[in-house]
Amino acid sequence: MKLTFHGQSCWEIQGEKARILIDPYLTGNPKADVKPGVFDHLDAILISHGHGDHIGDTEAIAKKTKALVVANYEIANYYTDRGCKTHGMSIGGGHDFPFGRVKLVIAHHGSTGPKGEALGSPAGIVLDMDGKKIYHTGDTAVFLDMKLISELNGPFDACMLPIGDNFTMGIDDAVTACEFIQAKVYLPMHYNTFDVIKADAGDFAHRLEKKDLRARIVEPGGTIEV
Ligand code: NI
Ligand code: MN
């Protein structure tokens, strides 16, 4: 399985048969390496929460690619109203899709829409596809239940988590999160997109190394195989 980073929290997942995007914030994302128009076919778009730097180009990409929008119930309804194909879920629930299994898990954050719409609870996303397990934490603080999420759904082949501070955990807390989450590799995200979330990913990686945990810094446009 190939995981390609497109900046902020946007990851493209290429499996054996399916291609998926998570949090497709490309337009207005100074770190994005691609434009929304490059996607021709996608099986699904998974969305962690309603903030603009996560829902991003969902509507345009979903309409062009016919991707199924998978998110919490409120975000799913928001995109149903805009003419997209959707599947709504809630925290703690999982569902088997043709491409794999998606489960929404806790994230501690907000989830208002672009105009302040109440778009449900923020989520982390667990994806089980082609025998690989991926945990995209969404925007969140560190929380002890990350241990439970790993126990119930892991161990994970990869975990993407924010390190940029201010809106999410910063490096100190992210290092603790990595001790709670069982994953083969930790992929930092949600940093350096804007000044207020500047972070040194090298420092994060170095501090994980000292705890015998493995980080990989994937630059926008870069891919890691898991
Ligand atoms: Ni957010
Ligand atoms: Mn965000």
How close is the Cα of 167 to the center of ligand 2, in Å?
Answer: 7
How close is the Cα of 41 to the center of ligand 2, in Å?
Answer: 25
How close is the Cα of 54 to the center of ligand 2, in Å?
Answer: 6
- pLDDT for 23: 99
How close is the Cα of 164 to the center of ligand 2, in Å?
Answer: 10
- pLDDT for 129: 98
How close is the Cα of 173 to the center of ligand 1, in Å?
Answer: 17
How close is the Cα of 139 to the center of ligand 1, in Å?
Answer: 5
How close is the Cα of 52 to the center of ligand 2, in Å?
Answer: 8
Report the chain's mean pLDDT, rounded to a whole number.
98
pLDDT digits (tens, 9 = 90+) for 143-173: 999 999 999 999 999 999 999 999 999 999 9
Distance CA 32, CA 35 (A): 8
Burial, 98: exposed, middle or buried (Cβ in 10 Å; 0-12, 13-18, 19+)?
exposed
How close is the Cα of 25 to the center of ligand 1, in Å?
Answer: 11
| Beta strand pairing call for 186-189 and 19-22 | unpaired
Average pLDDT over residues 23-34: 98
DSSP 3-state assignment of 112? strand
How close is the Cα of 167 to the center of ligand 1, in Å?
Answer: 7
How close is the Cα of 109 to the center of ligand 2, in Å?
Answer: 9
Residue 170 in tokens: 């910063």
Kindly identify the ligand whose nearest atom is closest to the C-alpha of 109. 1
pLDDT digits (tens, 9 = 90+) for 86-115: 999 999 999 999 999 999 999 999 999 999
How close is the Cα of 110 to the center of ligand 2, in Å?
Answer: 9
Average pLDDT over residues 126-136: 98
Query: For 58-167, where are the alpha helices, taking DSSP H only?
Result: 58-65, 73-80, 146-153
- pLDDT for 64: 98
How close is the Cα of 35 to the center of ligand 1, in Å?
Answer: 21
- pLDDT for 153: 98
How close is the Cα of 17 to the center of ligand 1, in Å?
Answer: 30
pTM of the model: 0.98
Distance CA 181, CA 62 (A): 31
How close is the Cα of 116 to the center of ligand 2, in Å?
Answer: 15
- pLDDT for 190: 98
- pLDDT for 69: 99
How close is the Cα of 166 to the center of ligand 2, in Å?
Answer: 10
- Could you confirm whether domain 2-225 is CATH 3.40.50.720? no
pLDDT band at 137 (very low <50, low <70, confident <90, very high): very high
pLDDT digits (tens, 9 = 90+) for 30-82: 999 999 999 999 999 999 999 999 999 999 999 999 999 999 999 999 999 99
pLDDT digits (tens, 9 = 90+) for 181-216: 999 999 999 999 999 999 999 999 999 999 999 999
